[in-house]
Amino acid sequence: GVAAPGAAASPAVRAGGDRLPQALTFDQDIYTVRTDTLTDANGESVQVTYRFYAPITYVTRPVDATHQSLVISVPVAIDGKKVDASRAPIVFANWVGGYFPVSVAAATGVGEGVMEMPGGQVLVNNGNDTNLPKLALAAGYVVVEPGARGRTLVDDGGVHYGTAPAVIVDLKAAVRYLRANKGRVPGDTDRIISTGTSAGGAMSALLGASGGSHLYDTHLTELGAADAGDGVFATAAWCPIADLEHADMAYEWCWGTTKLARTGALVDQTLSKELSALFADYQASLRIDGLHGYGRLTARNYDDYLLKTYLWPAATTYLAGLSATARATYLAANPTIRWDGKQASFTWDEYLAHMGGRNKGVPSFDAFDASTGENNLFGNGTVSARHFTQYGLDHDTTGLGTKHLDKDIPGTLDLMNPMHFIQQRNAGRSRYWWIRLGTSDPHTSLTISSNIAASLGQLGDSVNTAMYWDAGHATNRDPAAFLSWIAGITG
């Protein structure tokens, strides 16, 4: 290897003779030992003794070390039994949510990352009820939790320094740090499994899809990221809020006729139908075949595909798991959900009526007044929010008076979108994928995660995907199955 540009003057020489900037050389002797009683993925209590490596800045020229740092947890004993995790797979769990900044700077143990919301509010574990880092540690894996910049960060000069693509650049820099320290850092750096939920699921999918891409090089070099690969072995994404530039059209195709859960009102149906029509063109342009030999996915057959591939199987799994009495009660309360004794079925319209309605207005992501979190995500410099679709810009109500998206927008969108890299068949991508979504999650179109899964399947990657029936946003209903999946693909 070659030292990263701007490397420290006296690079450490590693066993293999590689050079790594001193600041990026992992010191395996600096840790604290903790013993925590954790709950494992089966709900059993386990006592885990582990080495905890306190926040390590993963770049030599951090913009914001509070966010550009990671923590590492390494199990050494589980229920009193010694474990050797020195070459165990590494679960690389990001806590990103809402595209907000994530910090592990105050963490003193596993699973304590915080998501920073406006007004100083912090949400531990991204508000998830499933603490995947703790479950993974209890299962014997090395766990790495990276902090990362997020959209709301503003410096003293009023410059937004955490907007796109900062979050993915940081996550890549963290992966590079691990891979540059191969053989030194605990765990198998060639068996990194990335995880994340919602915005973090999108970023996990992006990390997996964009591995090794040179599109990020200037950003990574600027930060003094390690000169190492940033591909990951396997990728898991729960309810990824991805493909943002097509999310408005996809949303209207999916939820356009449903009522706002909050008010019971329909959104403007003219706008909704216009966007939905744009989705038909977009979906056709992707040329994606469905999983399990379904054939080409279009706006006309996508409802049928979702029913057969995801929604009926999800309801079937759910109902089959209930006692006969509980199932009868559920079916009586939900007469549109039919059960033939083995399988659940319903029409698309029945599903829409059942799922509870939309939670976003129209357009849902690139609002005409540039008021969404995603508008903020595409802010730049001292501009806190920008349009990132032509449709949003064309209907702008902020008085921009321009017909053109800012010049950097298309390139930045590519850097933020896993679909870009999947469509390019990026060779450095993960080949193993775990994709999950709740069927009552209206935060984005069902087609977003489904297109990711189907296009990866079409490339020949191993895709394990399912939906959780009646589950809302950010649900993780099968963490034990996920950990078994990791064992299966790394064993």
User: What is the binding site for ligand DHB (CB under 6 A)?
Assistant: 97-99, 198-199, 241, 373-374, 443
Output the residue with the shortest Cβ distance to ligand DHB. 198
Comparison of 243 and 303: residue with beta carbon closer to ligand DHB? 243
Q: Which is nearer to ligand DHB, 99 or 216 (CB)?
A: 99
C-alpha to C-alpha distance for 135 and 367, rounded to whole angstroms: 38
Q: Minimum CB separation from ligand DHB for residue 167, in Å?
A: 11
Beta bridge partners of 12: 20
Residue 65, beta-bridge partner list: none
Nearest-approach distance from CB 239 to ligand DHB, in angstroms: 8
Helix (H) or strand (E) holding 30: none
Count of alpha carbons within 13 angstroms of residue 13, beta-carbon side: 1
Provide, rounded to whole angstroms, the least separation between the CB of residue 133 and ligand DHB: 17
CB of 442 to ligand DHB, least distance (A): 9
Give me the DSSP letters along 180-224.
HTTTTSSSEEEEEEEE-BTHHHHHHHHHHHSTT-GGGHHHHHHHT
Task: Give min distance, CB of 400 to ligand DHB, in A.
Answer: 22
State in angstroms the smallest separation of the CB of 194 from ligand DHB: 16
In what helix (H) or strand (E) does residue 408 lie, and over which residues does it extend? none
C-beta of residue 344 within 8 angstroms of C-beta of residue 316: yes
Judged by CB, which is closer to ligand DHB: 46, or 199?
199
How far is residue 291's CA from residue 436's CA, in Å, rounded to a whole number?
Answer: 15
Q: How far is the CB of 51 from ligand DHB (least distance, A)?
A: 30
The H-assigned helical ranges of 109-148 are: 132-138
Nearer to ligand DHB by C-beta: 133 or 373? 373
User: Which residue number, 142 or 241, has a Cβ lying nearer to ligand DHB?
Assistant: 241
23 versus 452: smaller Cβ distance to ligand DHB: 452
Q: Least CB distance from residue 100 to ligand DHB, whole Å?
A: 8
Q: Which of residues 198 and 204 has its CB atom nearest to ligand DHB in the complex?
A: 198
CA-based torsion, 367, 445, 172, 413: positive or negative = negative
Q: 75 vs 97, which CB is nearer to ligand DHB?
A: 97
**CA pair distance 21, 19, nearest whole angstrom:** 7
Cis status of the peptide bond prior to 363, with omega within 30 of 0:
yes
CA-CA distance, 101 to 361, in Å (whole number)?
25
> Whole-angstrom Cα distance, residue 30 to residue 74?
12
d(CA 478, CA 471): 12
Distance of closest approach, residue 253 Cβ to ligand DHB, in angstroms: 17
Q: Which residues contact 471 (CB under 8 A, 6 or more apart)?
A: 438, 439, 440, 441, 477
Q: CB nearer to ligand DHB: give 195 or 198.
A: 198
